[in-house]
Structure 1
């Protein structure tokens, strides 16, 4: 079995001073990368200024641009020096205040615009346009740099506004340098008006250099995840508006919440409702407005109303029940919603209210029946039934949008609890975090839906911190697994090196056995160290080729003479390589005995083979070559038989959970913490990164096939619950 337990690496964190020193060390990196571009940048700016002076129809602008052109053309080194110095100074300042970024930003932005001149405002607009364009053009590398700096500071990924190397810094440095370079006040506006990303400093090179520098300093991030996050951030909002995306389910939901059959809100005094942003609505009637429901549905289907009334008394009844349940903290009761539809005053339940309660009760039933969620967490999630009902009554987007805050909370609670397994303990920090979130929602939620976003952010920050600690804990196992994968790939290359030579049919039987059993080990080592010692691989391949050549028939005296002259050096190298792999068995003596016999026979052979003998040798070689190739084709075809579990393995990503069954029948849950670059090795750990083990792709595939490893579903539980609930929708 190719399952290898690994020791957990020691946790390592940068000290506060170490983090600051690391960021300070990036300032000369960025300054040097900018300095290497200054000549080309100055040339582009000079050409642009001359073009304006030559083409503009305004004499004053032509004079200013021509004067700036002449000044820059005559004194480029002065501009270089000013700009390099300004960039170094401003970057040093930015790095020094990164730990107080919020305070700095607030005081920096608190400017009295009543004292700003029109020229200053115009410069600000031009500067902002350039900054935004640079941020978009370098978005991917900027997001990666944000992640690396956040990791170096032991924070979540910072925003662009907190990045000390953001485009704004370089734009301001250029403007300030030009102001020092030339005292004419109107010229900075002229310079900014010319600036476009292709004319400006090439910041992509700078950000790549900074990312590489942090990588070399041990700040490693998942670049694929960064690209996915960047793509998600730049997806147009219109494309994400309806996230459920299933027209069939959406039509079912529309029909369930259609109020055309019954107009609601016959009785009771209304109360204002807050929207998803927490803003109070106007008017006296309680209402919800859902953009998903507004407008005309499919042809032949009545459109849902843009606003549905909610009875004030019923909502107050729910609020009272929520407070009562929080204060009394009753024993595990998962039937609140079922009882509510029976016990609530009949006059206060509308058609839509009843459908909402029934649909939500089915969703919670599905959650309670999910075997992957610990029972203790199901009890906590059950305490969210009344607050979630209030949300669903206020905002029907809960059913339509995956990104609805309350829906995200239930999904995140369910997904995070998977890591606890069935042995969840109230002493576990994650359990305590979930319990605190549930208590907060029960106690504080009234109509402010943004509360759900806040608690989700807190939970995600907690999980992010745990994940970072786990990544540090597996640093040593990852290094071991990378070495194992490197050795495995080296072995595959070595096997291929031998195979292509054996398939020619010219390799003697005893030599073929030697190459496949012993020389492959030598070639594996040579391939493994070829980056550090490229001559080793070249030497091993040449020695193998010389050995094969030495046993081929020699048809002329010249070839036999060449053999005799090469043998001593070849045998010396051969013995040196075999000593390196410590092959000291009796088989080594036998091999060299056979080798000596063959060499002697070749040397004593007739001076020239007859044409018939040469033909026989050629036919035998061709026949052996054909057999070797045919055998390899058959072997390759058998290995290429479709395996239905292979796509499952290939789609596995970091973060998923699997239940592994031990030989004694005990089920243990582990997270896929790391996948090797070639997907040949997988590392699984518990939630905190301990009890890690490394497993090969073949072994994991075998366990998936036999059912000894089963993936725990990680898809949105509310999505799955909604699909199941709508199989038989409420009337």
Structure 2
């Protein structure tokens, strides 16, 4: 009721705007029509006036409102073309003469339906009405303006004829020396171009099939029920009532003997009601309708693991087929050929889908939009079943909830479907509710996994911040070339640990951090040359306390006893050298004026900076993760433990990289090693791998591969905003997998992970059929 009230309000609003802003719409239409007309004459193309293919490829790049308007323009233009087919056919030819383009395509016609549709929508946009109201305006146009458009195109054609522009248009394409088969092929190809331009995909398939038959190259089938002796493409025993071949009623090649190529896009469905009844009986298990001694594999139909559709043409049922029905059988059979060969759908699920061959054939016979309309309920059901099979655990087999659900839906369709496609819609709704329940099961694992990953990443960030602070504190002191190598190595590899721990515990203002930094400063001072008596005396006085503090610090930092003993023995030598430097008479400092002393200090600091830059002191810091770990590509598998509600985390290595990152280069060398991978995996370069990972969005399915383990198909559910960790889950919600951004890039590089093609199964199947027919017709 609420929806009806909303619709009533929209209609009232639309009528009010149409009345109050009529002059704006009329003026805008004239203005935009003239502008679009002139643009088309100049060979330019308006922003909405593009081919269907171009529009389809860009739908994912536009806003939803623009997408709906673009679809409305296409549908409005298609209806105009359908109602004004004859007038537009003549006008395309005559405008082609005027524009010196005899092969002018209909969407480039300055007076074509695209120009009218664009001008009207642009005029409606100037009323500043909402999108829903503008779409209602389109509905009003379709209701009230179609007949006016037909008359307009008739008058324009008549005017051009009176001016001597193509008074007669030759429709036949027969040329001297052409065989009858070649005539049919040429007619089919010409009609095909018209049907493709007008978006009639089923007509396109029919024409391609006619052209392939004319060449004798029809893929995967014999000429069968629509091959008459001597004339490829004609049905046995003559034409069935209302049948269509080559785009023209009665079976004449499109464009020949009075037929019009424009008829192609309006092909009629010529199925015999008796055929549908017999197919329904066969669907219910009555193989007797096929006649005695039939070659159809009835057991295979029940099992769903073989294609049986083409065999129907060689039965008693096939004798009553019209040409369109016969072609429909072959096209649907080609679709199922693709389904049976598809590698993404597991065989048990394929078998269930194969049991739907007869219902899908009937759906295609009843509604040819099945081939072109991606939202068709039959197509959507097949697509969603195939998508749900991705990541299915085949080890569970027929006891799997997914398998049992699909099996139940298939049986319901077999039992209930006769000629009402609502059966598919209800099955689709039921299956989508089932998948939503399955999704909720995975959400529980995702929730606890996200909490675990975020906690770990926060700790990683704290560790990285602490490491950076510790390295900066050491770098500011150990980069001085006067610091001995012994002390420098100790600070970078051992003392960095208590510095990192102190910062992570309390930050740069904590007493532990200040104590660790102060001890480091005192240690560095203790090994510098003691050139004055006072400095030597101060060292003797403070050295015992320094050594005691140093021992305590190393104990807290859990530095190994061996490393401590080795450092302390080297430190004794450093202290002795520092004291000994003070007994060199030439080294005793002489008093100097304060200004001279300051100038000497500044000069010494500048020299130290220059020497440091030239010497490029290497600071061999030790980081929490080793270089070996960085080169291993690891995947963490997360499982929930039902007994204690804890997560089980298992880390597996799915490969290793042979290159070194910048940290490795700093520590080792500039050389790069080749990628370590196996020959059966598809590797990509660094740029492509980065692009693949950056473009990943939640909902994408991937497959992880590693030797000695089953492949893991998982769906991307979440990307961490903290450190870009990627979380995947399997179909059942029993396992999750996580991997950081850099390791995922590495996995793509060595081929240990790939993106599973997300194009719907029937979309891929239809594209494959069209491509096969095009190659056969070429």
Q: Report the TM-score, using the length of structure 2 for normalisation.
A: 0.49
Does 2:279 match 1:318? Answer: yes
Does 2:630 match 1:586? Answer: no
Deviates more, 1:400-409 or 1:636-645: 636-645
Following superposition of structure 1 onto structure 2, how do residues 621-640 of structure 1 map, counting pairs within 5 Å?
Answer: 621-625=612-616, 635=666
Measure the CA separation in 2 of the matches of 1:512 and 1:376: 66
Which of 408, 422, 440 is the matching residue for 1:468? 440
| Equivalent in the alignment of 2:266 | 305
Deviates more, 1:688-697 or 1:390-399: 688-697
Which of 768, 772, 775 is the matching residue for 1:724? 768
Does 2:386 match 1:414? Answer: yes
Which of 489, 493, 498 is the matching residue for 1:517? 493
Q: CA contact under 8 A between 2:530 and 2:578: conserved in structure 1?
A: no
Q: CA contact under 8 A between 2:353 and 2:382: conserved in structure 1?
A: yes
Q: Deviations over 1:124-154 (max 9, x none)?
A: 989x99xxxxxxxxxxxxxxxxxxxxxxxxx
Query: Post-superposition shift, 1:623?
Result: 1.9
Deviates more, 1:667-676 or 1:428-437: 667-676
Following superposition of structure 1 onto structure 2, how do residues 428-577 of structure 1 map, counting pairs within 5 Å?
Answer: 428-497=400-469, 505-506=479-480, 508=483, 509-522=485-498, 534=507, 540=513, 543-544=516-517, 547=520, 551=524
* CA 1:317–1:401: 2 relative to 1, 3 Å: same
| Equivalent in the alignment of 1:645 | 689
Measure the CA separation in 2 of the matches of 1:451 and 1:643: 48
Q: Deviations over 1:140-188 (max 9, x none)?
A: xxxxxxxxxxxxxxxxxxxxxxxxxxxxxxxxxxxxxxxxxxxxxxxxx
Following superposition of structure 1 onto structure 2, how do residues 263-412 of structure 1 map, counting pairs within 5 Å?
Answer: 267=241, 304-305=265-266, 308-324=269-285, 330-343=302-315, 345=317, 348-412=320-384
Q: Report the TM-score, using the length of structure 1 for normalisation.
A: 0.52
Query: Post-superposition shift, 1:709?
Result: 4.1
Measure the CA separation in 2 of the matches of 1:232 and 1:538: 56
Measure the CA separation in 2 of the matches of 1:233 and 1:526: 53
- Give the 3-state SS of the residue equivalent to 1:324 in structure 2: coil
Q: CA contact under 8 A between 1:252 and 1:726: conserved in structure 2?
A: no
* CA 1:491–1:402: 2 relative to 1, 3 Å: farther
Following superposition of structure 1 onto structure 2, how do residues 2-17 of structure 1 map, counting pairs within 5 Å?
Answer: none
Query: Post-superposition shift, 1:538?
Result: 9.6
* CA 1:398–1:510: 2 relative to 1, 3 Å: farther
Query: Post-superposition shift, 1:436?
Result: 0.9
- Give the 3-state SS of the residue equivalent to 2:686 in structure 1: coil
Following superposition of structure 1 onto structure 2, how do residues 185-334 of structure 1 map, counting pairs within 5 Å?
Answer: 236-239=67-70, 254-257=203-206, 267=241, 304-305=265-266, 308-324=269-285, 330-334=302-306
Q: CA contact under 8 A between 1:543 and 1:570: conserved in structure 2?
A: no
Q: Deviations over 1:696-718 (max 9, x none)?
A: 55555555444444444333111
Query: Post-superposition shift, 1:723?
Result: 1.8
- Ranges in structure 2 where 5+ consecutive residues have no aligned partner: 14-58, 76-194, 211-232, 244-260, 288-297, 591-596, 621-661, 674-684
- Give the 3-state SS of the residue equivalent to 1:377 in structure 2: helix
Q: Deviations over 1:511-562 (max 9, x none)?
A: 4434443455456556766xxx5556896489448735863769999x979x
Q: CA contact under 8 A between 2:488 and 2:619: conserved in structure 1?
A: no
Does 2:611 match 1:620? Answer: yes
Q: CA contact under 8 A between 2:304 and 2:350: conserved in structure 1?
A: no
Q: CA contact under 8 A between 2:446 and 2:736: conserved in structure 1?
A: yes
Give the number of the structure with larger relative contact order, counting CA–CA contacts within 8 Å between residues 6 or more apart.
Answer: 1
* CA 1:627–1:446: 2 relative to 1, 3 Å: same
Query: Post-superposition shift, 1:683?
Result: 4.5
| Equivalent in the alignment of 2:112 | none
Measure the CA separation in 1 of the matches of 2:379 and 2:503: 52
Query: Post-superposition shift, 1:110?
Result: 13
Query: Post-superposition shift, 1:644?
Result: 3.8
Q: CA contact under 8 A between 2:339 and 2:765: conserved in structure 1?
A: yes
- Give the 3-state SS of the residue equivalent to 2:731 in structure 1: coil
Size of the aligned set, in residue pairs, is 478
Measure the CA separation in 2 of the matches of 1:448 and 1:715: 28
Measure the CA separation in 2 of the matches of 1:341 and 1:526: 83
Measure the CA separation in 1 of the matches of 2:268 and 2:206: 11
Q: CA contact under 8 A between 2:717 and 2:727: conserved in structure 1?
A: yes
Deviates more, 1:383-392 or 1:673-682: 673-682
Q: Deviations over 1:621-670 (max 9, x none)?
A: 222337779x9796599899935433334444445444445543644545
Following superposition of structure 1 onto structure 2, how do residues 13-32 of structure 1 map, counting pairs within 5 Å?
Answer: none
* CA 1:621–1:714: 2 relative to 1, 3 Å: same
Measure the CA separation in 1 of the matches of 2:359 and 2:378: 9
Q: CA contact under 8 A between 1:555 and 1:608: conserved in structure 2?
A: no
| Equivalent in the alignment of 2:157 | none
- Give the 3-state SS of the residue equivalent to 2:310 in structure 1: helix
Following superposition of structure 1 onto structure 2, how do residues 45-56 of structure 1 map, counting pairs within 5 Å?
Answer: none
Measure the CA separation in 1 of the matches of 2:365 and 2:723: 47
Q: CA contact under 8 A between 1:498 and 1:516: conserved in structure 2?
A: no
* CA 1:268–1:411: 2 relative to 1, 3 Å: same
**Bigger radius of gyration:** 2
Query: Post-superposition shift, 1:457?
Result: 2.4
Measure the CA separation in 1 of the matches of 2:510 and 2:264: 73
Query: Post-superposition shift, 1:381?
Result: 0.3
- Give the 3-state SS of the residue equivalent to 1:304 in structure 2: helix
Q: Deviations over 1:171-220 (max 9, x none)?
A: xxxxxxxxxxxxxxxxxxxxxxxxxxxxxxxxxxxxxxxxxxxxxxxxxx
Measure the CA separation in 1 of the matches of 2:542 and 2:418: 91
Does 2:764 match 1:713? Answer: no
- Give the 3-state SS of the residue equivalent to 1:391 in structure 2: helix
* CA 1:661–1:618: 2 relative to 1, 3 Å: closer
Query: Post-superposition shift, 1:252?
Result: 6.2
- Give the 3-state SS of the residue equivalent to 1:551 in structure 2: helix
Q: Deviations over 1:307-338 (max 9, x none)?
A: 64543223323322222379997233432322
